[in-house]
Structure 1
Amino acid sequence: MELRIFTEPQQGASYDDLLRVARTAEDAGYGAFFRSDHYLKMGSVDGLPGPTDAWITLAGLARETETIRLGTLVTAATFRHPGPLAISVAQVDRMSGGRVEFGLGSGWFEEEHTAYGLRFPPLGERFERYEEQLEIITGLWGTPVGETYSFDGKHYTLVDSPALPKPVQSPVPVVVGGTGAKRTPALAAKHATEFNLPFPTAELAAKQFERVDAACRAIGRDPATMTRSVALVACVGRDDAEVARRASAIGRDVSELKENGLAGTPAEVAERLARWRSETGISRAYLQFLDLSDLDHLELVAAEVAPRLRG
């Protein structure tokens, strides 16, 4: 199983904080550094110094890291127009030498939209825009150099776009996720290389992955070509006291984290991840580290959990 890092910088992190985490993750051997794409804090934290833009952050990290893959869980379709977003992601992919993975979602957090003057359409319209954005962005990237791309949809129209620049990767890995029973699996089957579920139960994950497999088969796609992944909060310590200290630092209860996330000693967490793998078929886990100042936490998991999951 591949372990990746997932951060929530809107809760309070500067670019320099994220750079330290990304470089630590790269040195420790994690497969990727991912971040959320939010403009407003959640909960009782102060969120200082304030939000950082996801794709500006990843552009900086593209030049200040060497091997680790970079991406979003997930960019909100409500934040950007698809044409400029395709340009931004392609540019960051080129800046990184082909290390970008593109997560896109419909957007859900209404308060951050009103806080920064962004329109927040009703759910049905958000999903329609999400569908069109995936079609446009992948269409722009897939258009051969020298040809043009046009799209006439309900919400977006492109006429004779030169569809430039091209990313290094062809195709760029696309991450889609969510718990919708029909439209989300169908959208993933059409466009995604990976289906991700944030903070699910194993039962919910197994059921949703089955729907994605069925959607793949319905269009003649081999379900084995879809990577399955989940995101889970990590709270790992060498002993119970260290686990409790780390849980307290993020304002969480150890027993709750053991139920809903990954909490315990390295052996306990590795055993839980192994159960996730056997029960749901995941091959990738995004570990959400909420205390970004605790770099020892990342190094501990890489040194003592990851080796137990190889093979």
Structure 2
Amino acid sequence: MELRIFTEPQQGASYEDLLAVAKTAERLGYGAFFRSDHYLAMNVEGLPGPTDAWITLAGLARDTSTIRLGTLVTSATFRHPGPLAITVAQVDAMSGGRVEFGLGSGWFEDEHRAYGIPFPPLKERFDLLEDSLAVITGLWDTPIGDTFSYDGKHVRIEDSPALPKPVQSPHPPIVMGGAGKKRTPALVAKYANEFNVPFKSVDETADLFARVGQACRAVQRDPAELTYSNALVVCCGRDDAEIARRADRIGRDVAELRENGLAGTPAELVDKIRRYAEIGTQRIYLQVLDLADLEHLELIADEVMPAVTDL
């Protein structure tokens, strides 16, 4: 089991805040630093305001040295796929090949309205996601010296030189997720290296893993080729008082967090992580909502990580 750090900077974080978390995570041995790709805070003021996901990762690519970096997940509605392929390839080069590329259809309509981004109906967003995956992987996988063309439902590419190439070969790992029952599993089976289930119970996760496995077999792909992961909010403390203090800092109820996330003492977290491991989870993205609490990361690294590494 690998533990990764997952942040929500739209809730209120500067680049310096994110850098401090990323460098702490790197020092403590977490597998990766990921961030969401959102432009609008949810239920908080979100000062000083949003930061762009790929500009942030470009900075972290130069300001860190070993930790892997990625998005959970970039919205296909935010960026044209051709320029996005260039951006991700460049950040991959800047990091020395440490980028992981999460991509989804987009879901938060309010942020689209707030920043003038078109928000088509769900079917069109999935069509755009499928076009984006085809274009981005097509550009990356085209041999140097050849050109790439594509005629999709929403995107047309003509004779692109398909440059630059990422450092990682054949390309950065593609992370996809969600709870969709048909198109999501099919796209995961065709394009993804990792399937992520955000904020779901063990039983719900097992069902979604099974759907993706069925989709893989339908296209003659071995489901074992995928990495299977979860994202869960984390709130760990050595005793009830410390747990309650951390829950209060993020505006959440302890009982609710114990039910829906990873909350409690280190022993409680280990027990719940073991239950996810038993149904096939290989990575957990710990959603850290209080970015100033670096001691939280240290506690988990000291008392949880060693107990779950071999699960």
Give the TM-score category using the shorter length.
over 0.9
Letter in 2 for 1:97: G
- Name 2:133's counterpart in structure 1: 134
Question: Deviation per CA, 1:156-193, whole angstroms, max 9, x where unpaired?
Answer: 10001000000000121000111111111010000000
Do the aligned partners of 2:202 and 2:275 also contact (CA within 8 Å) in 1? no
- Name 2:28's counterpart in structure 1: 28
- Name 2:220's counterpart in structure 1: 220
SS in 2 for 1:25: helix
Letter in 2 for 1:118: I
Query: Quick check: 1:210 aligned with 2:210?
Result: yes
Residues 1-311 of structure 1: matches in 2 within 5 Å? 1-43=1-43, 45-170=44-169, 171-278=171-278, 280-311=279-310
Q: Distance in 2 between matches of 1:266 and 1:201?
A: 19
Question: Deviation per CA, 1:228-252, whole angstroms, max 9, x where unpaired?
Answer: 0000000001111101100011111
Deviation of the 1:196 alpha carbon: 0.3
Letter in 2 for 1:207: D
Deviation of the 1:154 alpha carbon: 1.5
Letter in 2 for 1:19: L
Q: Distance in 1 between matches of 2:154 and 2:124?
A: 9
SS in 2 for 1:175: strand
Question: Deviation per CA, 1:82-110, whole angstroms, max 9, x where unpaired?
Answer: 00000000000000000000000000000
Deviation of the 1:129 alpha carbon: 0.3
Q: Distance in 1 between matches of 2:309 and 2:78?
A: 38
Q: Distance in 1 between matches of 2:139 and 2:299?
A: 41
SS in 2 for 1:144: coil
SS in 2 for 1:286: strand
Letter in 2 for 1:106: S
Return the TM-score normalized by structure 1: 0.99
SS in 1 for 2:284: strand
SS in 1 for 2:162: coil
| Identical columns (%) | 71
SS in 1 for 2:102: strand
Query: Alignment length, in residue pairs?
Result: 309
Q: Distance in 2 between matches of 1:161 and 1:193?
A: 25
Letter in 1 for 2:180: G
Deviation of the 1:276 alpha carbon: 1.1
Deviation of the 1:209 alpha carbon: 0.5
SS in 1 for 2:65: coil
Q: Distance in 2 between matches of 1:73 and 1:183?
A: 18
Q: Distance in 1 between matches of 2:139 and 2:146?
A: 10
Letter in 2 for 1:270: V
Letter in 2 for 1:199: F
Question: Deviation per CA, 1:64-89, whole angstroms, max 9, x where unpaired?
Answer: 00000000000000000000000000
SS in 1 for 2:167: coil
Q: Distance in 2 between matches of 1:302 and 1:144?
A: 42
SS in 2 for 1:188: helix
SS in 2 for 1:155: coil
Q: Distance in 2 between matches of 1:218 and 1:46?
A: 46
